[in-house]
């Protein structure tokens, strides 16, 4: 059984990975803010909050800080 690479078949997934890397580079020394993500990457407010939540989980932000932005 051969395994298919999902990135080759779905260009949206590779764009998501690229955006994740851009966010990680842009905010490697500070926590992103909704306004910062909106201005820099042109995303809507709700999407910015989802990216912040993912950023906090990926960086291991303590749980007492997870609800703060």
How much is the average pLDDT of 45-51?
Answer: 94
Percent of the chain at pLDDT exceeding 70: 70
Query: pTM of the predicted model, to two decimals?
Result: 0.68
Write down the domain spans for the chain. Answer: 32-69
- Cα dihedral 60/61/64/69 (nearest 10): -150
The Cα 59–Cα 20 span in angstroms is: 13
How much is the average pLDDT of 51-59?
Answer: 89
Residue with tokens 């080759």: 8
The angle formed by the CA atoms of residues 56, 57 and 61, to the nearest 5 degrees, is 50
């Amino acid at each position: 059984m051969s395994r298919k690479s999902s990135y080759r078949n779905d260009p949206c997934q590779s764009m998501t990975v690229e955006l994740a890397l851009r966010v990680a580079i842009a905010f490697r020394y500070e926590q992103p803010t909704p306004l910062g993500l909106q201005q820099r990457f042109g995303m809507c407010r709700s999407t910015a909050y989802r990216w912040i939540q993912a950023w906090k989980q990926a960086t291991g932000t303590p749980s007492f800080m997870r609800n703060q932005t």
